[in-house]
Amino acid sequence: MPKKVVIIGGGFAGVNLAKKLAGNESFDITLVDKNNYNFFPPLLYQVATGYLETSNITYPFRKLFRGKKNFMFRLGELEEVLPQQKQVILSTGTVNYDYLVFATGCETNYFGMDNVAKHAIPMKTVADALQMRNTLLERLEEASRSTDPVERKKLLTVVVAGGGPTGVEISGMFAEMKRTILAKDYPELKGADGEIHLVDGLKSVLAPMSEKSQQYTYDTLTKMGVKVKLNVMVKDFVNDTVHFADGSTIEAKNLIWAAGVTAMTFKGMPEEAYGKGKRLQVDEFNKVKGLEDIYAIGDTCIQLTDPGFPQGHPQLAQVALQQGDNVGKNMIRVEENQFPKAFSYVDKGTMAIIGRNKAVADLPKPKLFFSGFIAWAMWLFIHLISLINSGNRIKTLYNWMIAYFTKDQSLRMIVRPASKKL
């Protein structure tokens, strides 16, 4: 009988594992996700700022695996795991498994700050990106009507919390939009005093990258008009004011939260299975410690057995892709009476885009640093080929070409879902 493999989560790790096993008659695959589509997180900020359509970075699971007879998709959310019975209880029913794989990624971490969680704009899902686009466009419209200069400045000021790639990329995008688009679309706002702030609790932006990348990014953002505030943490967000731990404040209605993530916990999983950041502790084969036939891959797990990463792997797409691939190969090896292979991460480099013709890239082997147009072209190429299918690549390239040559885009629509329930 084929082994029943249940994969919870259809991100980079889950989809890569499903692809590895799809078409193999030794397995029956059930992919579970609360959305019926896969999406590409690195380009969420371009959907949020109106440079890409949602369809550019999303693709339906059922179409992706069309024709794979051993694949089934189940729309739903995980509610409980029953390890003894080898079952998972979903919001849409109960599913049996021989192998259970957690590929649930992570969620936004507000570090216990209730006001930030309530009022800040997150950047983790497609729904977040669309909500951010609507919110910022609505505030631009409100600012264009306002006659109070203080209120107008609050509406136009954006504070981006988090100096990682997402924070850097969205800050740079806002700076370019302010310079090239705002005056054309909103002539009423000519000369308005809105500001863009990028804040982080660490001593540098892009902390995991090289010092050259950090310095180039800081200098470039500053030249673009972004006010970079380092070594300070957000403490609260109340009454249109961002409060920091050092006592300073910034008056703004827009706080974009890209400052941290945390893994999710699930009913039925023992507390001792979780490690730092609520990530599931796994062995060298990505099997959850203390449990049989339960695996975790990608951002939701922490693996301390890789000699090159004794503190665990970074929560990056490449780690998720490689772990999904390795677990899939190991399942096939076991079915063929071969020994599984321990996971070893191959670091292919890190990059971040800052703006038009401006980016940074660090390559580990050989150790190289690129900046400016070359790094920008590398970023575009890598992200383009990483999209899940050729249709997404063509649509994204088309939108990028329009944006590059016109320094503009026509996707800034406020689209609100109907409130009526059918």
The Cα–Cα gap between 319 and 35 comes to 22
- Identify the three-state secondary structure at position 209: coil
Enumerate residues 6+ apart whose C-beta is below 8 A from 399.
51, 52, 53, 56, 409, 411
The Cα–Cα gap between 146 and 414 comes to 19
The Cα–Cα gap between 75 and 30 comes to 10
* Count of C-beta atoms within a 10 Å radius of residue 21: 25
**Of residues 77, 80, 107, 169, which has the active-site annotation?**
169
Q: Is 176 annotated in the active site?
A: no
The Cα–Cα gap between 136 and 125 comes to 17
139 with 186: CB under 8 angstroms? no
Tokens of 403: 């944006």
The Cα–Cα gap between 379 and 384 comes to 8
Supply the DSSP symbol for 276: G
188 with 284: CB under 8 angstroms? no
169 with 196: CB under 8 angstroms? no
Name the residue type at position 187.
P
Name the residue type at position 334.
V
Name the residue type at position 78.
L
The Cα–Cα gap between 225 and 197 comes to 9
Catalytic amino acids? 169
